Structure 1
Amino acid sequence: MDALTDILNTLRMSSSLYFRTNLTAPWGVEVPAKGAVARFHIVIRGNCWLQVGDETEWTPMANGDLVIVPHGTSHRLVNEKTTEARPLDDVLQEVGFTGSGPLVYGGGGAGCTLVCGELAFDALGVHPLLENLPGKLYVSGDTSYNAKWLDSAIGFIGHEAAKLDPGAHAIICRLSEIILIQVIRTYLATSKEIVPFLSAFTSSRIGKVLSAIHAEPAEDWTVERLGQMANMSRSSFSNHFAELVGMSPLQYIIFVRLQLASRLLIETSKPLINIAENIGYRSEAAFSQVFKRQYGIRPGEFRRSHTRIVS
């Protein structure tokens, strides 16, 4: 398994469709901030403007454009930059929106149709991959974005949102998750700046090491051994890894191990010693010490504070 696949699986995404809109000018909506989510908006028809968080810049959006706000930051969508953006909750209350059918709102002028939704991440899935994404990921509908499949996916979402036949929400949610993954992949491939953690995926040497760590987190990894895998000296590898990942190699190994441990504690009933061995620790005491240093509580306390044990 490659590192990116393992990380995305660890994030435990779950998506939901907010609504399809029938907005007519003048209109403006402010979407409130929300933690551990990525919100998306797809323009199916018409034009609008987007402003995220404290940015002064406005982003124009038109047919086929897609924007993802990966950190759940508050943002504004308006027909014109001069239009006031009203809080979303106020708009929903004013029009009596119940969650079924399109959100119809505005002054009766030029129309704009959006499909809006969010992808939630498990709170335990906090990862530098997400933390270091930019404030917005914007995809223009009139440019080639890696493959024509994105146009097809967005068109399919628009079709399903318009009809809302049985199963439409499930289709939209699955496609939204796939689109987010593809947009992240393409951002990683096209970003020209050195971005903490994200830039590690542009290095074939460090990327190879990351994949090895994620594939075998319990392996008895050493900096020397990982450096050899990257075909670099120990010091050069350690410095380069820390520069790109934002952690030393050993710190990242511990990070990956403890993320896996937290999942096993919540989602299984495995004894602590078995979990310790699964992630590379020979004793429950050693595992408990490292886990408490990271999470502030011991593994047993962590398990008792979560109730999603399934097997």
Structure 2
Amino acid sequence: MAVDLLSDTLADLRADAVVTGHFSLTAPWAFLKGAVDGAAFRTVFGSPFYVIVEGMAPVRVETGDFVLLPHGHQHVLASSPEVTPVPFDNLMADQGIRPSFDTPLHFTAGGGGSVSDLYTGIMVYREAMRSPLFSVLPPLIHVRANDPAVGPWLASTLMAFIRESMSAQPGWAVAAARLADVLFVQLLRAHLASAIDHTGWLRGLMDPQIGKAIALLHRQPERSWTVESLSAAAGMSRSRFSARFVELVGDTPIGHLTSYRMYLASGALRDPRRRLIEIAESVGYASEKAFIRAFRRWSGMAPKQYARSMRDPYDMAKSGAQPAS
């Protein structure tokens, strides 16, 4: 049950755009990367480097390792934690580089010492960033090259992504985005296979009884679920089920259901052909008014306003907007 639901969740992931780069860096070097609206990954060939996220110990990244920042947190990349970082935007400006959606980013910097070849990607996921999966991922995921959960497919996918994204052949942006999807899913699978301290709904998913209830909520979000019907499906008393659900997931059963419904609705709102009442009914609301109230509480804006606020990253590129580097 847990594996099936996890597969369903991962199948929903699809990058709207991807920004790629190759940084050839010679020690000593360090720069501060601001927060980005997307999931960032880093890997290195040559000398190891460090990733530092505020509030966390520095993470040493060896050749062939992967670092994934699912929420795009601000972080420092450095040849050593002792090196004072410079803002990444300043580094780009000094070299006359302006990051763009339609051009892979490449530059050389550093003090002339040992070489770290960093390959990076920022995967732009919009509605997915509100998904139950993203909500329980840590700020930083480190997948080691020698981890038993890492198979040869991860390295081969990475090399295909690097070749496709850096060649900039016709159609590279779409191909790189699809390869980034595969790479991201494989990184998450490796992390979930090796992680011990799952939290949130993933932790609940691993529990035979609570996992069954979560699977039902995700597969039939339009149903009029109650705590009573869910606890019966899980084979538990109402009070024991409620307490166990909150303990593992960190939210009530109905609270989790509402969040998942709104996540599905936010994706449906991207299609201008779908009527609001149709979307409302597909996630379990009999009236537009009830759906609008719930959506506004979840997103801070009405559904139509939310739909208007969503702009395609490629359209942004065409209009001259630049990605967060």
Whole-Å separation in 2 of the counterparts to 1:45 and 1:162: 18
| 1:168–1:112 Cα change, 3 Å | farther
Counterpart for residue 196 of structure 2:
192
Q: Is the 8 A contact 1:25 1:108 kept in 2?
A: yes
Cα distance change, pair 202–88 in 1 and its aligned pair in 2 (3 A)? same
Equivalent residue pairs, number: 306
Which ranges in structure 2 are unaligned for 5 or more consecutive residues?
Answer: 313-325
Structure 2 Cα separation of the partners of residues 158 and 281 of structure 1: 44
Structure 1 CA distance for aligned equivalents of residues 193 and 104 of structure 2 = 38
Taking the aligned partners of 2:46 and 2:12, their CA distance within structure 1 comes to: 35
The aligned counterpart of 2:323 is none
Residue 205 of structure 2: aligned partner = 201
For residue 134 of structure 1, what is the aligned residue in structure 2? Answer: 138
Is residue 217 from structure 1 mapped to residue 221 from structure 2 by the alignment?
A: yes
Counterpart CA distance in 2 for 1:150 and 1:239 is 39
- Distance of 1:300 and 1:129 partners within structure 2: 25
1:78 match: 78
Contiguous gaps of at least 5 residues in structure 1: none
Matched, 1:177 2:153: no
Query: What is the aligned partner in structure 2 of residue 246 from structure 1?
Result: 250
Question: 1:79, CA displacement in angstroms?
Answer: 1.9
- Deviation, structure 1 residue 191: 3.0
Alpha-carbon distance in structure 1 between the residues aligned to 2:296 and 2:162: 47
* Structure-1 separation of matches of 2:285 and 2:276: 11
Name 1:26's counterpart in structure 2. 28
Q: Supply the distance in 1 between the matched residues of 2:256 and 2:91 (Cα, whole angstroms).
A: 45
Scaled by the length of structure 2, the TM-score of the pair is 0.80
RMSD of Structure 2 on Structure 1 (CA)? 3.0
Give identity over the alignment, percent: 32
Deviation at 1:122, TM superposition (A): 0.9
Once the 2 structures are TM-superposed, how far is the Cα of residue 64 of structure 1 from its aligned partner? 0.5
Distance change in 2, residues 1:189/1:103 (3 Å):
same
2:47 aligns to what?
Answer: 46
CA distance in 1, matches of 2:17, 2:300: 30
Compute the displacement of 1:169 (Å).
4.8
* TM-score, structure 1 as length reference: 0.83
Counterparts of 1:155 and 1:28, CA distance in 2? 25
The alpha carbon displacement at 1:146 in A equals 3.9
Q: 1:66 to 1:224 in 2, by over 3 A?
A: same
CA pair 190-204 structure 1, distance change in 2 beyond 3 A: farther
